[in-house]
Structures are given as C-alpha cells and as structure tokens.
Amino acid sequence: MKYLLVLSACLLSSIPSFAHPGSSESHPALRTWNLYDGNYHLHASFVVARSGEVQLRAEDGSTFWIPERFLSSEDKKWVEQKLTAIKELNTFVSVEDSKIAPVLAKYFEPFKETVKVRWDEKWLYVESNGLPDHLMMKGIKNWQQQVPLPQPYSGKNAWQIPLKPELAEKPISAKNNLFRGAIALAINGVPIFNALNNRGEDSFAIGELDEWGGHCGRADDYHYHAAPIHLEKKAGKGNPIAVALDGFAIYGFTEADGSPAGKLDEFNGKIGKDGVYRYHATKTYPYINGGMRGVVEVRGGQVDPQPRAFPMRPAGEPLRGASITNFSAPSENSFKLTYEVRRSTRTIEYSWTKDGTAKFIYDDGDGNKKTETYLRREGKDKKDGPPPKKN
C-alpha cells in the first residue's frame, strides 16, 4: 500500500507539468478513469493514445499524458476498443474518399485526352505512351542515334506516385545518385530524368537536349532532363508542371502571382505558402528537382517502383559531329528526323503499329536507303501495381 501511495503521489505531481490549458467548457465524453486498478480515480475524457501513453482532457479543458501501464485493466480494454472503432471509421472514410479524385490527379487534367489516371489508398497511377504533343529532337548536337517511340506506360507498367508524400530524414541528392530512370513525371505523361546523364554530365550543358529539354534513351524512350516550362501554357501560371516521384509537385520559375520563387534549398525546393513542400524549376542546374526531398525507395540507382521502357531496336552509338536540324510528323503514327553530319543531310523515317511493329527507312544522303522492321519485346508482366481499372 505504501508503494501505491508513493506512486499515486508521483502521478498527481506530474499531471500539472504535462497539462496544457484548454477550454473551460464541459467536455461531452467525460468518464471516470480507475488508475492502479481502482486505487485512484480521475474524471476526464479520452483524446488520443500513442507510444504507450494516453492523453486525457480534464474538466477544465486542460490536457495531460498518463503512462498506459497506470490504467486499470478495464480502462486499457476501453482504450483498445476505442482505437479499433477509430481505425474502422477511418477505413470507411478512406474508401468513400477513394471515389473523389486526389489533388495529384487534377494536375494531369490538362492532358486528360492522352494521360489517364487511377488511384488507390496509397498510389496515383499514371498511364501514357511517353510522347508529348509537341515535336521533339530538333536542336540536339550530341546525339546517340536514338529516336522517340511510344512506350507502354500502362496497366502494371504505369507510373506510381505516392498520394501522401513525407519529407525524408535523409534526402537523396541527384548529384551522386539517381543516374538511372526517372525522378519525376511531367503532367503530359513524359518522364523527367536527373539533370545529369548516366555518366554524371549535365545533359543540357553538353548539347544532348532538344528545344524542349528532352532527348531519347537507349530504348528510344523520350524524356526530359530539364524543366518542361512550356507546359505552363496548358497548366496555367502558378500550377504544377510535373510531380516528383516522391509525391511533391514541381512548379515553374515563379509563384502564381508572378513573383520570384525565392530562396530554394539544395533540392530546388521550399515550403510553400500552403505549408506543403514543393519544388521549383530554375534556369540553372539542377533545373528541376535536385533529388528526392521526400521519402522514396532507391534500388540500383533509381527510384523504385517505376515502369520500364521497352526497346524495339538495338541501342545506337554516339554519332560525332551530328546535329538534328528538323523533326516532323507526316502522319499520326510516323515521324521523320533530319540530321546533318560531315556536310551531308540524312534522314530517318519511321512508323509503328499498335501491335508493336515499327518500320524504319534510313537515308544516308547519297541516295542509299535501308529499310528495317522491328518488333517490340515487352517480356513478362511487371509485378508492381494493380491491374488497370476505371474509377
């Protein structure tokens, strides 16, 4: 009994030190708590329980914490039932909310004709063919002989973006990581890669990018390495032009009112006026998000999960001295690329079908043409992500 009296005294003396002032109005959920299996009684309402402690609210509105081990067995059971009821309620609400488009989904609405979205409680899934509605490739002076082809970013191979992003305790810098795969997705469904290429070089600075800040990878997959500022024309000033794969949005050079974005951290981001972290585009390196300020999983030097790009033809090699001078779309499913090398004008004309077949005609500028036909091999289905569905 002496031990219980001492313990009770310690508890009573601790309550004022942990209490927080509140409303003096009577709380509707007041109940009697029996501490130490009935050796001490307390009139208060339940607020929350976490980390082995229970927060209660006294009649005067002040709140305080009590170690859960001090509660009677009956009160412990009551708390457990209360938490279960709260969890069930939250689950019900989340199912209802799943019918309402999340904020991230709305960012892609300007391109809803070509970019499709769906979601569950954790992820936003974005489907596209990876091709923008603008022409590509013109202006590239450092070329690996890759050309843009549609990619099957759909179904289980769709992009996955977390709906509830969290700031990471240990952010990942793109200066020494993330040299493979995308780090963001533009609102037109085109992936955005690290500003540094897979050799650690600034793609923009060495002439690898076209007039829109993009080029093609070894799978003939088109992607940006710089901020697609041109998307503001459809998104509207002050709206996101992309979303990083950690779930935080990427905005243009300025705020919605046209004022400068202000001081940015090493990841090209800051806390916005709405209290949410955001990235901003810049005219100098890193141009886009300088890494992952949010929580992500990295495997093999890239953010995981993310979709795969599937090649149709063997990867090309750098063509020294080549410069892409023109790019056109003769028809809906065909492109023509014109380039100059060693004072010779050459072209690549190609088209594709829905079944994954592509026909290429290579013209060497001297009247010699070579025709090749390729078939995409997508391999086994990707395991990540649910099958496609309509919301």
Rounded mean pLDDT of the chain?
86
Number of domains in the chain: 2
Tokens 């005294």 found at: 9
Domain span at residue 43 reads 2-97
CB 149 within 8 A of CB 358: yes
Q: Is residue 382 part of a domain?
A: no
Helix (H) or strand (E) holding 345, with range, is strand 344-352
Residues 10 and 144 grouped into a single domain: no
Q: Indicate the SS3 state at residue 276.
A: coil
Which of 313, 336, 352 is the endpoint of a domain? 313
Q: Is residue 114 part of a domain?
A: yes
Amino acid at 318: P
Helix (H) or strand (E) holding 235, with range, is helix 232-235
Residues 132 and 200 grouped into a single domain: yes
CATH at residue 25:
2.30.30.700
Residues 174 and 50 grouped into a single domain: no
**Number of CB atoms found within 10 A of residue 343's CB:** 7
Q: Is the pTM of the predicted complex or chain greater than 0.75?
A: no
pLDDT tens sequence across 121-157: 999 999 999 999 999 999 999 999 999 999 999 999 9
Residues 8 and 109 grouped into a single domain: no
Residues 229 and 286 grouped into a single domain: yes
Specify the pLDDT at position 132: 98
Residues 176 and 28 grouped into a single domain: no
Q: Is residue 211 part of a domain?
A: yes
Residues 120 and 265 grouped into a single domain: yes
Confidence label for 177 from pLDDT (cuts 50, 70 and 90): very high
Residues 109 and 93 grouped into a single domain: no
Q: Is residue 373 part of a domain?
A: no
Q: Is residue 174 part of a domain?
A: yes
Residues 204 and 281 grouped into a single domain: yes
